[in-house]
Amino acid sequence: MANKRLPLLVGLLVVLLAAALVWRWQRGQTPKMESPAELARQALNADSPEKQRQVAVKLQMRAASLPYTGTRNEAQPYLKSVFEESKNPEVRIACMHGFATLWDYECVPTMLDLMDDPSLPVSSMAANTLLKLMGVLPSFNPNAPPEKRKAATVRIREMWKIFSASKLKVWQKRLAEKDAKF
């Protein structure tokens, strides 16, 4: 009877050993999460505009995966530095997407300035960021002539003054409550 169980036990032992080896191999194959600081350095030093964009998107996604919102998110200062230092519109767009994802209200004055940017994708993303943060964006068309865009920007700046005075504290409280869950 013991001889009949021996192959079963050996088979079970082989299966367990194989599973342990596969598990160790997969652990070694898991890509290491790059820090926001490392991603920011790569985004600013990449050798091509496309590589800069790809790394900036990774930075934006890394920021979204971290706890906390706004300036409490550890990736926010790196998004901000890449945004300020890069001249690549695609990199700046990825950073703006990160600001919106983090609910970073400190970026609003900059987004208001960028609505007049001559680059259509940049001005469009600035408007989208403001739309997410403020919840409203009246009659802004990035394809409109400069004078109409300017008039819309003036209206939105006025809305921001009202918004920031009345709703910003409410939003900050909600974000703090959200952050407390982490």
pTM of the model: 0.72
Helix residue ranges, H only, 30-145: 36-45, 49-65, 76-85, 89-102, 108-114, 120-134
Domains and CATH numbers, the chain: 36-180 (1.25.10)
Output DSSP code: residue 34.
P
The pLDDT tens digits of the residues spanning 124-170 come to 999 989 888 888 766 788 888 888 888 888 888 888 888 777 776 77
Q: Average pLDDT, stretch 78-99?
A: 94
- State which H helix or E strand residue 12 sits in: helix 2-29
Residue 26 has pLDDT above 90, yes or no: no
Residue 59 has pLDDT above 70, yes or no: yes
Output DSSP code: residue 165.
H
pLDDT confidence of residue 2: 57
The token pair that represents 13 in the structure block = 């032992």
Longest dimension (CA), the chain: 93
pLDDT confidence of residue 97: 93
